[in-house]
């Protein structure tokens, strides 16, 4: 059997990727690998390492190869049915948690995550704020299955806010809420926002197009953001906030959209790279605080 050092030299992968594979498959930490490059790999580990390395060399993302990705300190299962959660999206979670903490009265805050994918945002919020009652929707049944499995594994079954309520909808269409429901304190979404002709789409070919460009790709990538904003107000409490992730060049357009729909204190927040990544606002003031009629 080859030694670790020999396999690393021949595998033709970035060093970090190769180390992560060895850590996952052979169970040797990176410190152990650095200290003992002479160790021999097991025959079964070698076969698996070579198979996984071939997938990485073909361009498949590490998260799909390992079926996992860390987000907000939690280890999520990811499959090709869901977008790989991005570090940028942690900003959306930070802003949502800050808003929940600013709410005036002690209550079980209510949160809706639209387009939940792996469940990353909804589950991170539910994990960080055990009292919050969290809903999460997606149009993809296969994504929802991944999200439900992540919630079952990552959340305390006895959390005060109860289980995350996952639903299959077309954005607001088909969302089922309890009759006496008093609207959401916070609606968050990282929807598909990539324009149909974006040259970077080919780099993302392993991820589901439904998560990247949506069901109806448009030239500006804003069609899903428009649908979410257009019907958000009746679902928000008076002091409720809508928070939306968007593309690096879409902040001004999303702010305009929010302002056009009457949202107050519209803002954009920058991610760690200094890019305006999340925009949001408070619920429009003059609106009837009744639930909209049930949508089919
Ligand atoms: C960019 S991904 C975000 C996934 C996850 N929230 C995250 O941040 O990692 C967008 C998600 O929106 C879902 N989606 C696309 N069109 C939808 C629609 N019409 N109604 C509900 N969800 C939709 C996709 O299936 C996908 O899971």
More confident residue, 270 or 106: 270
Closest Cα to atom 14 of ligand 1: 115
pLDDT tens profile 38-92? 999 999 999 999 999 999 999 999 999 999 999 999 999 999 999 999 999 999 9
Query: Is residue 121, in this structure, part of any structural domain at all?
Result: yes
| Domain-embedded: residue 31 | yes
Two structure tokens written together for 40: 């021999």
- Same domain for 151 and 30: no
High-pLDDT (> 90) share of the chain, %: 92
Residue 293 lies in a domain: no
How far, in Å, CA of 94 to CA of 85, rounded? Answer: 15
Pocket test for ligand 1, best of 117, 135, 209, 221 (most atoms within 8 A of CB): 117
Do 140 and 242 lie in one domain? The reply is: yes
Residue 190's CATH number: 3.40.50.150
Cβ neighbors of 41 (< 8 A, separation 6 or more) are: 1, 2, 3, 4, 7, 22, 26, 49
Please choose from 166, 192, 218, 247 the residue to mutate so as to test ligand 1's pocket, defined by most ligand atoms within 8 A of CB.
192
Averaged pLDDT for residues 104-132: 94
Reduced to 3 states, what is the DSSP secondary structure of residue 54? helix
**Tens of pLDDT, residues 248-262:** 999 999 999 999 999
Summarize the annotated binding site for S-adenosyl-L-methionine as residue ranges: 115-119, 138, 171, 190
pLDDT of residue 287: 54
Question: Is the domain of 139 the same as that of 220?
Answer: yes
Q: What is the pLDDT of residue 293?
A: 47
> Is the same domain home to 85 and 46?
no
At residue 182, the pLDDT reads 75
CA dihedral 58, 62, 65, 70 (to 10 degrees): -170
CA distance 101 to 108: 11
Cα–Cα nearest to 232, from 220, 247, 222, 242 = 242
Q: In whole angstroms, what is the distance from residue 115 CA to residue 135 CA?
A: 11
- Residue 271 in any domain: the answer is yes
CA dihedral 201, 202, 204, 206 (to 10 degrees): 130
Our answer on whether the CB atom of 121 is closer than 6 Å to any ligand 1 atom is: yes
For position 291, what pLDDT does the model report?
A: 53
pLDDT > 90? residue 20: yes
Give the model's pLDDT for residue 295. Answer: 43
How many domains does the structure of the chain reveal? Answer: 2
pLDDT at position 296 is 39
Q: What is the mean pLDDT of residues 101-112?
A: 88
Burial 266-287 (b: 16+ CB within 10 A, else e): bbbbebeeeebbbbbbbbbeee
186 lines ligand 1 (CB under 6 A): no
Identify the residue whose C-alpha is closest to ligand 1 atom 27.
117
Same domain, 160 and 85: yes
pLDDT confidence of residue 107: 77
Q: What pLDDT, in 10s, does the model give residues 168-221?
A: 999 999 999 988 787 999 999 999 999 999 999 999 999 999 999 999 999 999
> Could you tell me if 143 and 234 lie in one domain?
yes
The whole domain housing 226 covers 80-282
User: Which residue's CA lies nearest to atom 2 of ligand 1?
Assistant: 211
């Amino acid at each position: 059997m080859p030694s670790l050092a020999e396999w690393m030299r021949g595998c033709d992968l970035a060093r970090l990727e190769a180390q992560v594979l060895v850590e996952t498959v052979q169970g040797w930490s990176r410190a152990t690998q650095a200290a003992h490059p002479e160790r021999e790999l097991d025959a079964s580990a070698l076969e698996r390492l070579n198979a996984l390395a071939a997938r990485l060399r073909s361009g498949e993302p590490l998260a799909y190869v390992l079926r996992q990705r860390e987000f907000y300190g939690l280890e999520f299962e990811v499959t090709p049915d869901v977008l790989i959660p991005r570090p940028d999206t942690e900003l959306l979670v930070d802003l949502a948690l800050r808003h929940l903490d600013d709410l005036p009265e002690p209550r079980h805050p209510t949160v809706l995550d639209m387009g939940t994918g792996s469940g990353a945002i909804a589950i991170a919020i539910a994990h960080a704020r055990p009292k919050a009652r969290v809903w999460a929707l997606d149009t993809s049944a296969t994504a929802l299955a991944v999200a439900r499995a992540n919630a079952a594994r990552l959340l305390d079954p006895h959390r005060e806010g109860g289980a995350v309520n996952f639903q299959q909808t077309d954005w607001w269409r088909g969302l089922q809420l309890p009759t006496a429901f008093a609207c959401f304190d916070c609606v968050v979404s990282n929807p598909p926002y990539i324009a149909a002709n974006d040259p970077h789409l080919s780099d993302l070919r392993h991820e589901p197009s439904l998560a990247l460009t949506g069901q109806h790709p448009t030239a500006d990538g804003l069609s899903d953001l428009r649908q979410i904003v257009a019907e958000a107000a009746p679902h928000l409490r008076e002091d409720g906030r809508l928070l939306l992730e968007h593309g690096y060049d879409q902040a001004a357009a999303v702010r305009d959209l929010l302002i056009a729909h009457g949202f107050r204190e519209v803002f954009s927040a920058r991610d760690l790279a200094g890019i305006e990544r999340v925009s949001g606002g408070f619920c429009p003031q003059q609106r009837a605080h009744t639930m909209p009629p049930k949508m089919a």
